[in-house]
Structure 1
Amino acid sequence: MTPTDLVRLAREWRDQDPDPRTRAELDDLLEREDLAALADRFGAKLEFGTAGLRGELGAGPNRMNRVTVMRAAAGLARVLGPGKHVVIGYDGRHNSDVFATDTAAVLTGAGLRASVMGARWPTPVLAFAVRHLGADAGVMVTASHNPPRDNGYKVYWGDGAQIVPPVDQEISQAIDAVGRVDELPLGEGWTTLGHGDIVEPYLEAVTSLPIGDARDLSVAYTPMHGVGGSTLSEAFLRAGFPAPAVVEAQALPDPDFPTVAFPNPEEPGAMDLALGLAASIGADLVVANDPDADRCAAGTPLPGGGYRMLTGDEVGGLLAEHVLRHTTGDDRLVATSIVSSSLLGRIAEAYGVRHAETLTGFKWIMKSGPGLVFGYEEALGYSVGSDAGLPVHDKDGIGAALAVAGLAAAAKRDGLTLLDLLDEQARRYGLHATGQLSFRVEDLSLISEAMERLRAHPPVELAGRSVESAEDLSEGAGGLPPTEGLRYRLAGDARIVVRPSGTEPKLKCYLEVVVAVEGGDVAAARAKGARDLEALRKDLAVALGL
């Protein structure tokens, strides 16, 4: 793109932009003739995919801003058509409330009905509200656990689940056909949803989940500067648990996330304050949500003192058995993604229920089939159901926290901890040790180059294990829809999946080894599993060349 084209595009964007801050940003870049910055903003665009939109705040089509959001809303309106009903939610990030209002104005101007959440409530409340209100679609303005500079735009369909192809492509094409946003008709008169309209019914639904009957439990909790705090605390009290102790410095929504480098419970250091609070009160359980509260992290006391955070796969295995013990029926289904532990399949076999493996993302887990009572993915996402089904057709950090608390309270009553329950599972099913190797990059071409290196020179051995099969997931391996990724199955019951992140500039590698527990010695199996994972990490890093 020539400098003349960049300047022309920037001026055209500025002239239609209703936001004085991003207009001023472009005026400054134009005045300084900063062509590199203009190229970064106008040389590409945020792609509307199955996660909707997500990116850095700023001016231009390659940023999240009011023009980008209004174009997305206009595209959604064209696909849905006049008269359809859309529920809109927003979290506590910068401009989330503004983007929600802009969406409502564009939708109503196009002849649709819009209902906007009256406060900053969690993403699972929005997902629940779509079905509860019988809406045709939903929009959640959130960037989940991304850095503070980001925001996003997540679209749900009438089934309460995130959109999947081909709907995402239809919306993307409709967005591309939208003209200037200052020429869009803007409406008024949308409905503002109160606590009683959607939060009350949501709380009634999640507190009716199979939590169990034990309630004696002390919990240390952090909403991680997000919007989950009040809803989770209310859910715990309604379910009969003592009020959780909340990390004061992280209790209220703050879009700058001042106490964490990344607002993600999985990131190093993110749980330090919660673990410190747990130690100070002697908590039986540590719970964290990410900023939009669709994910749930859990930690448990160690026998010698201190605490350990459980992995997403560990929590997923525990919750799966908990749900299956508290539900009935011969046609139950449990589902997880291809990057999550294979343990769920063995649990399903033991309980005589169906098991499905899907692509990464809850949008796919929700499409896994009828009878779904539990779904999870290793990135701390869980949807807990009952005999009545799943109240939320997406991952739900509030409902999952209630189920984990019920599980931990029952274990405490029996003189056990979550670690004891994990050991029992290891003895029954084998120790499923999982881990990750990830690379955050500034230049996305490094990820595509690494994937091409693996395709051109597939490994034949990793950590002394022969590679027994190599599947290119872009070709739709195993009957799954095509997706960018590679899967290797290794000798000795091990597996590796390599894929680019769908929401962050990362290449992610998911590792699993299954270790038999000899003579009931789980500690020895865990030690072996840790050594095996580390060996796989080292060899895979060399193969990737990153």
Structure 2
Amino acid sequence: MVAWEKAYEKWTSYENLDPSLKRDLENIKNNQEALEDAFYKELTFGTGGMRGILGPGINRMNIYTIRKAVNGLVSYLKGNCVNIYDRGVVVSYDSRYMSQEFALETAKVLGAYGIKTYVFDSLHPTPLLSFAVRYLGTVAGVMITASHNPPEYNGFKVYNEDGGQITPDEANEIIASIQQTENELTVPHMEKAELEEKELLNWVGSEIDNAYLEQLKQISRLEPGELMAEKDLKIVFTPLHGTSHDLVKLGLEQLNFSQVNVVKEQAIPDPEFSTVESPNPEEHQAFTMAMKQGREIGADILIGTDPDADRLGVAVQDNAGGYTVLTGNQLGTLLLDYILSHSDKALLTNPRMLKTIVTTELGRAIADHYGAETIDTLTGFKYIGEKIRQFDASGETFVFGFEESYGYLISSFARDKDAVQAAMMACEMAYYWKKHGKTLLDALDVLYERHGYYLEGMSSLTLKGKEGSAKIAEIMANFRENPLSEIAGLKVEVTEDYLSGQRTFQAFNSKIEAIDLPKENVIKLKLEENSWVCLRPSGTEPKIKCYYGVCGKTKEESAIQLAALKESMSGIIK
């Protein structure tokens, strides 16, 4: 009997197996491929948590894999945090299938160890969970979400006591603790009624919402008089069936944006995300209904958040009478320029802008223009959150953080990307530029003319299952063993291998220097003419991603060069 069959037999022979999971197993008992995929490995707990398809099995999201993860988290907290029983853990959840149930399961395991839990009494955004950790002073936070993954997914994200996503070192310790749990089916847990009776389960109401909204009001760059004035800006907002509806609406009301029109069909939380192909504001189709409503009312700006409200997409009116969706890089650089141009330099001590290694270099140019230093991090907002925590001790001033995948943070009262903050600032920025007779597209042209025509792109190859994982590993190994000397006619000048931690300068007799960042399976190639390519396996999806960046003298030149890079890499990665 092979390993997956033993794991399957353990589940089917367990007398107290959850009835719904037992039925699901019965339905696939004759499907060996489905059974093997559900049991051939344990669901991976990565650098921020775990995410997977719902269903029975050790490679699926269900109450038993949740319990095992929480059991490991408890062991980690006991060994690494102080006053864990008094401080407790806060838990939030989104609109997905089983999200509320998984939040309660988290509390059940924590309660069995005497650790109290604060659980939101309704679905809430991820950034509010980050804020709640800091506001309540808990030792950790848990967010039940799979972000913008398809409906069949859910996830379990862990936050440290600073309110940031756990760091790789913290994740490794938690993973080691999880692996010490031999049987996920028998993890100790306490029932809801007993938890409430012993005050180990505390339901969170509007107190944290109100405290967050008070902080949200402070991020505005408007003068007090203008802040209180009603603003001439027509907004269409879609929460894409997720968690952001109430907080975004209330936040905009605080700034006196009175012309906020919600896409009603997408305001309702829906685990099927039934009106979109994908609940991801990075995908233009997610704005289809918002664009229709925008044309009907002549909206100036469309804003959309993903289901757990940590990512924001924005579309603005264009000269053709339609709407253009800004890329994450474009919105990020617009926000950065607006924030720095409306900041009192006398109040900024050692200003720092944070971005990831696959985020546009236009951000660096803008930061330089205003005298702020740019610090690059690995891909993932957890690294940006970790840097902000270091700034608390170093005296450096965080001014803005962003990544190309539509994640932004304006103020560090939250320590993860925050679509609610970004929505407020995007609307304020659009209002500012409208007063000056410009759209955000016009404002973007101003940045290009000042700094250069930066253009970026990304392509990905989806490779599912066991064979897909092996293929991704093979592609990365090939890049290391057979390094490229040029791509699309551009010479490779620098190779950065973040797994080995080495930067090699081909133009200087292959000089090597260390990269001062954590190890990660990423390769970045810096090319001549300010172009670059970066290859990275996704940490949350069965994909290998390739990122590109160019900077030409004109938009047309940049577009041609970007297309050439994509075509060249697509022929290599297949």
TM exceeding 0.5: yes
Q: Give 1:288-303 correspondences, 5 Å limit.
A: 288-303=304-319
The answer on whether the counterparts of 1:17 and 1:23 sit within 8 Å (CA) in structure 2 is no
Instruction: Describe the superposition over 1:364-399 as per-residue Cα deviations: whole angstroms up to 9, x where unpaired.
Output: 0112241212100000000002xxxx1210000011
Superposition deviation, residue 183 in structure 1: 5.0
Q: Of the candidates 459, 469, 479, which is equivalent to residue 444 of structure 1?
A: 469
Question: In structure 1, what is the equivalent of residue 128 of structure 2?
Answer: 125
Question: In structure 2, what is the equivalent of residue 520 of structure 1?
Answer: none
Q: Does 1:407 align with 2:429?
A: yes
Change (3 A) 1:243 1:171: farther
CA distance in 2, matches of 1:114, 1:261: 35
CA distance in 2, matches of 1:206, 1:406: 13
Q: Does 1:418 align with 2:415?
A: no
Q: Does 1:464 align with 2:480?
A: no
Q: Give 1:57-68 correspondences, 5 Å limit.
A: 57-68=54-65
CA distance in 1, matches of 2:490, 2:15: 59
Q: Does 1:375 align with 2:374?
A: no
Q: Of the candidates 486, 489, 493, which is equivalent to residue 530 of structure 2?
A: 493
Question: In structure 1, what is the equivalent of residue 569 of structure 2?
Answer: 540
Give the SS at the match of 2:478.
helix
Question: In structure 2, what is the equivalent of residue 225 of structure 1?
Answer: 241
Superposition deviation, residue 339 in structure 1: 0.5
Q: Give 1:130-209 correspondences, 5 Å limit.
A: 130-178=133-181, 179-186=183-190, 188-189=195-196, 190-209=200-219
Instruction: Describe the superposition over 1:272-293 as per-residue Cα deviations: whole angstroms up to 9, x where unpaired.
Output: 1111111111110010000111
Superposition deviation, residue 78 in structure 1: 1.3
Instruction: Describe the superposition over 1:88-124 as per-residue Cα deviations: whole angstroms up to 9, x where unpaired.
Output: 0000100000000000011011111110011001111
CA distance in 2, matches of 1:124, 1:284: 26
Q: Of the candidates 29, 32, 35, which is equivalent to residue 35 of structure 1?
A: 32
Give the SS at the match of 1:277.
helix
CA distance in 1, matches of 2:534, 2:106: 37
Q: Does 1:475 align with 2:500?
A: yes
Q: Give 1:313-462 correspondences, 5 Å limit.
A: 313-327=329-343, 328-368=347-387, 369-370=390-391, 371-385=397-411, 390-442=412-464, 443-462=468-487
The answer on whether the counterparts of 2:304 and 2:313 sit within 8 Å (CA) in structure 1 is yes
CA distance in 1, matches of 2:188, 2:175: 18
Q: Which amino acid is 1:487 matched to?
A: K
Q: Give the paired residue count.
A: 529
Give the SS at the match of 1:188.
helix
The answer on whether the counterparts of 2:109 and 2:189 sit within 8 Å (CA) in structure 1 is yes
Q: Which amino acid is 1:331 matched to?
A: N
Q: Which amino acid is 2:283 matched to?
A: E
Instruction: Describe the superposition over 1:495-526 as per-residue Cα deviations: whole angstroms up to 9, x where unpaired.
Output: 1111011111111111111123xxxxxxxx11
Change (3 A) 1:243 1:292: farther
Give the SS at the match of 1:536.
helix
Superposition deviation, residue 304 in structure 1: 2.3
Question: In structure 2, what is the equivalent of residue 519 of structure 1?
Answer: none
Change (3 A) 1:6 1:499: closer
Q: Of the candidates 317, 327, 338, which is equivalent to residue 311 of structure 1?
A: 327
> Which of 372-381 and 443-452 deviates more?
443-452
Instruction: Describe the superposition over 1:340-369 as per-residue Cα deviations: whole angstroms up to 9, x where unpaired.
Output: 011121122111122100001111011224
Q: Does 1:19 align with 2:48?
A: no
Superposition deviation, residue 171 in structure 1: 1.1
Change (3 A) 1:140 1:37: same
> Which of 171-180 and 110-119 deviates more?
171-180
The answer on whether the counterparts of 1:300 and 1:419 sit within 8 Å (CA) in structure 2 is yes
The answer on whether the counterparts of 1:89 and 1:120 sit within 8 Å (CA) in structure 2 is yes
Q: Does 1:263 align with 2:279?
A: yes
CA distance in 2, matches of 1:298, 1:494: 26
Give the SS at the match of 2:117.
strand
Superposition deviation, residue 9 in structure 1: 1.9
Q: Does 1:80 align with 2:101?
A: no
Runs of 4+ in 1 over 6 A off after TM superposition: none
Question: In structure 1, what is the equivalent of residue 256 of structure 2?
Answer: 240
The answer on whether the counterparts of 2:65 and 2:184 sit within 8 Å (CA) in structure 1 is no
Question: In structure 1, what is the equivalent of residue 8 of structure 2?
Answer: 10
Give the SS at the match of 2:28.
helix
Question: In structure 2, what is the equivalent of residue 530 of structure 1?
Answer: 559
CA distance in 2, matches of 1:191, 1:207: 31
Structure 1 gaps, min length 5:
517-524
Superposition deviation, residue 194 in structure 1: 3.8
Superposition deviation, residue 62 in structure 1: 0.5
Q: Which amino acid is 2:483 matched to?
A: P
> Which of 173-182 and 230-239 deviates more?
173-182
CA distance in 2, matches of 1:329, 1:211: 14
Give the SS at the match of 2:33.
helix
Q: Of the candidates 538, 541, 549, which is equivalent to residue 512 of structure 1?
A: 549
The answer on whether the counterparts of 2:147 and 2:307 sit within 8 Å (CA) in structure 1 is yes
Q: TM-score, normalised by structure 2?
A: 0.89
Q: TM-score, normalised by structure 1?
A: 0.94
> Which of 324-333 and 504-513 deviates more?
324-333
Give the SS at the match of 1:271.
helix
Question: In structure 1, what is the equivalent of residue 394 of structure 2?
Answer: none
CA distance in 2, matches of 1:408, 1:291: 24
Give the SS at the match of 1:48.
coil
Change (3 A) 1:177 1:100: same
Superposition deviation, residue 6 in structure 1: 3.7
Superposition deviation, residue 138 in structure 1: 0.1
CA distance in 2, matches of 1:475, 1:404: 39
The answer on whether the counterparts of 1:440 and 1:506 sit within 8 Å (CA) in structure 2 is yes
The answer on whether the counterparts of 1:211 and 1:402 sit within 8 Å (CA) in structure 2 is no
CA distance in 1, matches of 2:295, 2:16: 50
CA distance in 2, matches of 1:209, 1:268: 28
Change (3 A) 1:71 1:251: same
The answer on whether the counterparts of 2:119 and 2:204 sit within 8 Å (CA) in structure 1 is no
CA distance in 2, matches of 1:238, 1:17: 51
Q: Does 1:48 align with 2:45?
A: yes
The answer on whether the counterparts of 2:537 and 2:544 sit within 8 Å (CA) in structure 1 is yes
